[in-house]
Amino acid sequence: MTPSLTRRGLAGLALGLALGGALPALAQSSGEPVMIGVSGPLTGPQAQYGALWKQGFDLALERINAEGGIDGRPLEYTFEDSQNDPRQTIAIAQKFISDPAIVVEVGDFSSTASMAASPLYQRGGLVQFGFTNSHPDFTKTGDYMWSSSISQSQEQQVMADYAVDRLGLRRIAVLHLNTDWGTTAKNIFVEEAKKRGAEVVAAEGYLPDEKDFRATLTRIKASDPDGLLLESYYSDGALLVRQIREVGIDLPIVAVGSVYSPDFLSLAGDAANGVHTTAYFTPVSPRPEVQAFIKDFTAEYGQEPNNFNAMAYDTMNILAEVMRRHGTTREEIKAGLGEISGVPSVLFPEVSFDPETRRVMGLEPTELIVKDGAFQLFQP
Amino acid sequence: MSSGALLSATGVTRRFGGIIAVDGVDLHVREGEFLSVIGPNGAGKTTLFNLISGQDRMDEGRVMLEGRDITNLSPRRMAEAGVARTFQHGRVFGNLSVMDNVLIGCHTRLRAARPRVPVVAPVLEILRALIRPASVRAEEAAMREEVRAIVATFGERLTPRLDEPTYALSYANRRRVEIARALALHPRILILDEPTAGMNESETVEMRDIVDALKRQGRTILLIEHKLDMVMRLSDRVMAMDNGRVIAEGTPAAVRDDPKVIEAYLGHATIGGGEPAEASLMPGTSRAAGGVQ
Amino acid sequence: MGSILSLPWFDFTVSGVVIGSIYALMAVGLALIFGVANLINFAHGAVFTVGAYVGWVCAVALGLPLWATVPLVALGGGLVGAGIEYIAIRPLNRQSRIAPLLATIGVGLILDQIVHILFGANPRALPVPMPGWRVSVGQGSIGPIDITIFVTAVIAAAALYAFLFRTRLGMAVRATAQDEDAAKQMGVNIHAVNMAVFAIAGALGAIAGLLVGIYYNAIDPNTSFQIMLKGMVAIVIGGMANVPGAIGGGVILGLIESYGIALFGASYRNLFAFAVLLLMLLVKPNGLFAKGREREAEPMTGTFVIQSMPVRPPGWLLALGVAAAALVPLAGQPYLTQVMTNAFLYALAAISLTLIAGTVGLVSIGHAALLAIGAYASALLTIAGLPVALGLVAAAAITALLGTALAYPAFRLRGHYVAIGTLAIGEIVSLVILNWTSLTNGSMGVFGIPPLTLFGVDFFSTNPSYWLVLGLVVVFALLQTRLLSSHLGRTWRAIREDTVAAETYGVGSNYYKGLAYGFAGFTAGLAGAVTAHQFSYINFDTFNLLTSVLILTIVILGGLGNVTGAIVAAVLVAGLPEMFRVLAEYRMLFYGAALLLLIRFRPRGLLGSG
Ligand SMILES: Nc1ncnc2c1ncn2[C@@H]1O[C@H](COP(=O)(O)OP(=O)(O)O)[C@@H](O)[C@H]1O
Ligand SMILES: [Mg+2]
């Protein structure tokens, strides 16, 4: 872990200056830049995710532009801080829609914040590419909403497969973030588990800023489950697994893929061992795209990438590929997303979108378990 | 109940923890009578008046006003019953103009602006304040006219300052505003708690003349006062208190010469004239804090 | 009810005591400060966070051992505490009690934001080697850090108690608390005493941050407010200034939450905490451990409205301003128009709060609750099929009624108990929305709220919605101004100036506070409803505590009670940072600094309080 963000920020600034100075000399890409509008949190409670995005974006753009950008034009983005607040996302939407230089919009972080702005993007005819928006309704506002995020129904089927079919759990207790994301996930999981012949014996929601789960876990324990499922982000997921062990619950834990982060391991410490999860992006994958990304990322930032880095990285690559193949106007990008296939990606074997749901097709999750403080392939 | 009394309090008692601040006091005031209550500091005068005017609840006792039981009514009901009072330490509404301060005194008499219909009264009151039908406008105009008249009885002291906020007034003027506010209630009985507290000699004389004028209007007045000079001149009857009890009652001269009264005052080291010690301990009401003039 | 009896009550008790001792540790510092400064230090949570990060720097970045980390953390917290006293408390000595309370909110925002800028929002691990043993208690276990937290809280309370009642400086501290003027006359250096107390409390808060960080092995800059609120509830239970009582209050709060979770589930936890807070304020404001009927706490009279003459801009200037505002969309910049729409929605909310907080003097930190009620009412009614126009009006009326009913318990509170009480009511509203799933759809929020279409006319596009909101602001500003010039205006202000005197002249203060809340609720409900139709999605967190603080900042900036001021300030506070988005990253810093500087240098606001 790097000592502080500031130092890293300064290093990044220095790097940026150095690159800026070097660019004309190298002349990889020039001319009018192709501009992507990013709406995401740089401040507020979700600010860390905006920071993770930036790392992924920057790494991808560095490579894309070194290879000549979009037909010689550099690909760039402008990042507007929304604090993940719907009030801000709609204002930002106005800004992007009215700015002819913006050809596609990316974000926002939560489905809530994104969906407040969706009607505007739909009316304004600008593609809203919500690459973290797993809410099943996100792409339903209209045909300008696209997402490379695995939808929650896809994700929860995977979780149910893992917990019920692979691990043989029959009485599952669910702990979920009491947000639209966590509650939706929980509801779908309950359905999917039932389909597979398992029962959800307890479901407890908690708020994102909660830290203490002892009483909640005592209640969970009283429901006599044979395994726990966490619909959590990595930070609260880490708090949970620590306290799960402290209150003496010694049952299998399956956590949704959003805990897949090195920070989960450092925050949870020893308690993370034995936790099951899945990932679409994982360093243990032998695919060359993945290995190249990890190498570049680690060289650039001095730390291993996480899921959000990878999603951000993929997003820029997908959009760049769409623009290269189909053009850079707003309409061309929209049409291109529906037609494109075979885009190399870190998260997926290859990217293509279902034109009906406007989501990625052909997922291949990797089943993982934490062993010796590291995510490893799960081999039963 | 003594016949002919406008206000009669019997057996009024108030305890604070161990202290009995007011101990079985009887008090009767006839219509048009001027009754003064004297006594050293801590005798229980203010507490007694608080009980009569509803600021505090008595532990025992009963208060009747014109044959109606008003024991322990809320201050609001007391005001509606016609009891108006001023406060020892002065309680004008600092950020309100003189006019608005006195208009608050008219509050209980507002009819058009304050509809007394059940359930929908709140909505009606807001709507009338917004729409201001002729009846509301006429009432407001009449009240304002009356306020000017009341204020005019203080000569040229307040009239030019009608629209100034009271925090900008002199201490004496603020006491005048308080009395004007009390008069605007059209009180059946007027209770004045040390109206000259913190005033200098000439202001005291002026206040005495004001109270004298009120008396000559035939008002029923209850007065707490330290300055015996004023008490002697104005009172029809005087009641002396010490340690929560009435120790003497009668004509001003009789009470003044009562040995028990003299002893009570000597025991507390002050009698008449001199400024009571408590006034100087109250920074909020001292002349220094009296604002600009 | 065999199932209830068969619950593992012992384990719930252990859980309650474990979290309760964290609350207690926070509460001890808050109680100490309240005892001396008669103030709830809203920045105490930020000190906690600072402590955690100083701890991280020492223990992780510098690799210092724990025995070296603890004193450094205490030193850091002590310095921050002393700084808070010097910057936010001392200069406000002569102002009303609510002023320093608001100043501490400002300082808290600033400190949090600084930590955020320096360290980022990512939670960090705080791995400090601790002895590996754990004691089995019931079915679970507790470790050395759990015990350390509890023992630290108890030792701190005991040491402070001994200090306050056994040492000379302690005597001075208590003398200061009881009568500042008398203490001054007896030669006590009040500033030094106050600063010492804030430093001690700061050191304690910082150590709490370190210990809790170690306990969870996680620190992040967004913890401050929650943990501070829990500490606050604990001291209300234990008796505001009662240092040993704070321990009891913390543990009792922990137990109440734990048992509440046992019976109703985890999502009710905070609902219990705030319901207990409100109940205590109303029923036992002196705390559970108060002996008998104590002398009533000093009534915190004197509202925040200081003596000033509000600026009255001439009519033509106001008309010109409105005309200029109406022309904004013609600039052809939809982003600007949208930002201004947001600003005017804040203005509508601020107009309503300035009536309550400024004119009537009930300084509310829960105003967002009214917006939330309006938003949900209109959203749910229109989704059920009511036309949007009717939905807006119905929502406003419902907010007027419900808001008044909910705020009614706070009417009898005074001074900054009003602030705490309204804060609790605001949180309760938000938590009821979260938990009343059958009505509100719970944490999923409400999707698919119809866009603003009034009588078949489009008001959802950028420009029409802007004009609609601007129109509402103008209309309600005029209506409120007219009310203020009626008998209601003087009656409300009289209640604010001196409730006792007003009652003595026949003014039913609760009734008139209710009228003000009714009218303000109508306005705020409308603002919330319009917002809901704009967003098309709302949830329990759309209108949160930060919204309340922001609206209050706007109202203070404009001048309490000043309608024009509220509008101007809304444009400045809600509009400016968005127009200069470079500032966006420092938005919270901007809000915090604005609040602090205003209270310090211009408490009457830009246009003067009325
Ligand atoms: N609210 C109170 N709590 C406790 N004691 C009080 C209170 N009000 C008055 N007292 C006590 O009651 C006694 C009478 O006080 P007061 O009526 O103010 O006297 P006076 O007006 O005659 O100077 C005094 O001993 C005073 O300390
Ligand atoms: Mg007295």
State the DSSP H helix or E strand holding residue C605, giving kind and residue range, or none if neither: none
Report whether C126 contacts C60 (CB < 8 A): yes
Give the residue from A191, A235, A190, A181 showing the smallest Cα distance to A213.
A235
What is the residue whose two structure tokens read 């947001």?
Answer: C342
The pLDDT score that the predictor gives to residue B3 is 53
Stated length of chain C: 610
Stated length of chain A: 380
Q: What is the phi-psi region of residue A201: left when phi exceeds 0, alpha when psi lies from -120 to 50, beta otherwise?
A: alpha
- Output the furthest CA–CA distance in chain C (Å, rounded): 77
**How far is it, in rounded angstroms, from Cα C421 to Cα C588?**
24
The pLDDT score that the predictor gives to residue C94 is 63
Q: How far is C533 from chain B (nearest CA, A)?
A: 27
Looking at residue C587, the DSSP 8-state letter turns out to be: H
The set of chains that have 3 or more CB pairs under 8 A with B is C
Please give the CATH number for the structural domain made up of C20-283.
Answer: 1.10.3470
Q: Which segment of A27-41, C12-26, C41-55, C199-213 scores lowest on mean pLDDT?
A: A27-41
Report whether C338 contacts A117 (CB < 8 A): no
**How far is it, in rounded angstroms, from Cα A110 to Cα A91?**
16
**How far is it, in rounded angstroms, from Cα C238 to Cα C227?**
16
The pLDDT score that the predictor gives to residue A287 is 87
ipTM score: 0.88
What is the residue whose two structure tokens read 């490893």?
Answer: A376
A4-150+287-339 domain in CATH 3.40.50.2300? yes
The pLDDT score that the predictor gives to residue A8 is 37
Contact check, Cβ <8 Å, B122/C515:
yes
The pLDDT score that the predictor gives to residue C1 is 38
Q: How far apart are the first and last CA of chain A?
A: 31
For residue range B274-283, what is the model confidence (pLDDT) as tens digits? 433 333 223 3
| Percentage of residues in chain A having pLDDT higher than 90 | 62
Give the residue from C542, C332, C466, C452 showing the smallest Cα distance to A95.
C332
Vertex B25: Cα angle to B24 and B30 (nearest 5) = 145
Ligand nearest to the CA of B49: 1
**How far is it, in rounded angstroms, from Cα C486 to Cα C515?**
13
**How far is it, in rounded angstroms, from Cα A351 to Cα A361?**
7
Q: How far is C433 from chain B (nearest CA, A)?
A: 28
**How far is it, in rounded angstroms, from Cα A197 to Cα A69?**
51
Q: Is the dihedral of CA B26, B30, B31, B32 positive or negative?
A: negative
Q: Indicate whether residue B16 lines ligand 1 (CB < 6 A).
A: yes
What is the residue whose two structure tokens read 């590291």?
Answer: A374
The pLDDT score that the predictor gives to residue C456 is 82
Report the topology of domain A153-279. Rossmann fold (3.40.50)
Give start-end residues of each CATH 3.40.50.300 domain in chain B: 1-82+187-293
C143 near A CB under 8 A: yes
Hey, what amino acid is at B271? I
Burial of C292 (0-12, 13-18, 19+ CB in 10 A): exposed
For residue range B30-70, what is the model confidence (pLDDT) as tens digits? 999 999 999 888 899 999 999 999 988 999 999 999 989 99
Report whether C413 contacts C419 (CB < 8 A): no
- Over 90: is that where the pLDDT of C517 sits? yes
Burial A265-275 (b: 16+ CB within 10 A, else e): bbbbbebbbeb
Q: How far is A340 from chain C (nearest CA, A)?
A: 31
**How far is it, in rounded angstroms, from Cα B36 to Cα B250?**
10
What is the residue whose two structure tokens read 């100083």?
Answer: C54
Report whether A71 contacts A114 (CB < 8 A): no
Q: Indicate whether residue B19 lines ligand 1 (CB < 6 A).
A: yes
The pLDDT score that the predictor gives to residue C293 is 42
User: Please, which residues have CB within 8 angstroms of residue C546's CB and are 6 or more apart in sequence?
Assistant: none
The pLDDT score that the predictor gives to residue C457 is 83
**How far is it, in rounded angstroms, from Cα A134 to Cα A143?**
16
Distances (CA, A) of A160 to A17, A152, A362, C312: 48, 12, 18, 66
The pLDDT score that the predictor gives to residue B293 is 25
C452 — phi, psi (to 5°)?
-70, 100
Report whether B96 contacts C493 (CB < 8 A): yes
User: Please, which residues have CB within 8 angstroms of residue C389's CB and are 6 or more apart in sequence?
Assistant: C454, C455
R_g (Cα) of chain A, nearest Å = 21
CA A33 to chain centre: 26
For residues B82-100, give the mean pLDDT. Answer: 91
CA B186 to chain centre: 13
C498 near B CB under 8 A: yes
Residue whose Cα lies nearest atom 16 of ligand 1: it is B44
Per-residue tokens: B273: 């004239």
Please give the CATH number for the structural domain made up of B1-82+187-293.
Answer: 3.40.50.300
The order of strands in the sheet holding B34-38 is: B83-85, B189-193, B221-224, B34-38, B237-242, B245-250
Report whether B58 contacts B51 (CB < 8 A): yes
Q: Which of residues 347-406 of C touch B (CB under 8 A)?
A: none
Distances (CA, A) of C252 to A82, A256, C40, C45, C154: 39, 35, 20, 20, 14
Residue whose Cα lies nearest atom 3 of ligand 1: it is B16
Distances (CA, A) of B275 to A200, B35, B41, B194: 81, 22, 11, 11
pLDDT level of residue C3 (50, 70, 90 thresholds) = low
Per-residue tokens: B55: 């600021």
Give the residue from C519, C550, C543, C552 showing the smallest Cα distance to C371.
C543
Give start-end residues of each CATH 1.10.3470 domain in chain C: 20-283
The pLDDT score that the predictor gives to residue B130 is 96
Distances (CA, A) of C243 to C21, C58, C401: 14, 30, 40
The pLDDT score that the predictor gives to residue B292 is 29
Residue of B nearest to C486 (CA): B129
Helix/strand/coil for B16: strand
The pLDDT score that the predictor gives to residue C250 is 94
For residue range B183-235, what is the model confidence (pLDDT) as tens digits? 999 999 999 999 988 888 888 888 888 899 999 999 999 999 878 888 998 99
CA A139 to chain centre: 16
Give start-end residues of each CATH 3.40.50.2300 domain in chain A: 4-150+287-339, 153-279
Report whether C222 contacts C120 (CB < 8 A): no
**How far is it, in rounded angstroms, from Cα C13 to Cα C10?**
5
Q: Which residues on chain C are in Cβ contact (under 8 Å) with A116?
A: 535-537
| Mutate-to-test residue for ligand 1 from B13, B16, B38, B194, highest number of ligand atoms within 8 A of CB | B16
The pLDDT score that the predictor gives to residue C93 is 66
C262 near A CB under 8 A: yes
The pLDDT score that the predictor gives to residue C583 is 62
Higher pLDDT pick, C381 / A8: C381
For residue range C75-110, what is the model confidence (pLDDT) as tens digits? 999 999 999 999 888 888 666 667 888 889 899 999
Which stretches of chain A score pLDDT less than 70?
1-30
Q: Which segment of A133-142, C161-170, C299-308, C414-423 scores lowest on mean pLDDT?
A: C299-308
For residues C470-495, give the mean pLDDT. Answer: 96
The pLDDT score that the predictor gives to residue B267 is 67
Residue whose Cα lies nearest atom 20 of ligand 1: it is B42
- Over 60: is that where the pLDDT of C295 sits? no
For residue range A15-58, what is the model confidence (pLDDT) as tens digits? 333 333 333 334 456 678 999 999 999 877 788 889 999 999 99
Distances (CA, A) of C24 to C16, C140, C196, C199, C251: 12, 22, 21, 18, 6
From the list C479, C497, C504, the residue facing B75 with the nearest CB is C504
State the DSSP H helix or E strand holding residue B27, giving kind and residue range, or none if neither: strand B19-30
Q: How many CB pairs under 8 A join B and C?
A: 99
The pLDDT score that the predictor gives to residue C181 is 73
Report which ligand 1 atom has the smallest distance to the Cα of B244.
14
Residue whose Cα lies nearest atom 25 of ligand 1: it is B42
Per-residue tokens: B228: 């015996």
The pLDDT score that the predictor gives to residue A370 is 95
If DSSP states are collapsed to H, E and C, what string results for C123-136?
CECCCCCCCCCCEE
Report whether C580 contacts C586 (CB < 8 A): no
Contact check, Cβ <8 Å, C515/B53:
no
C302 near B CB under 8 A: no
Cis peptide before A108 (omega within 30 of 0): yes
Q: What is the phi-psi region of residue C131: left when phi exceeds 0, alpha when psi lies from -120 to 50, beta otherwise?
A: beta
**How far is it, in rounded angstroms, from Cα A227 to Cα A225?**
6
- Over 80: is that where the pLDDT of B271 sits? no
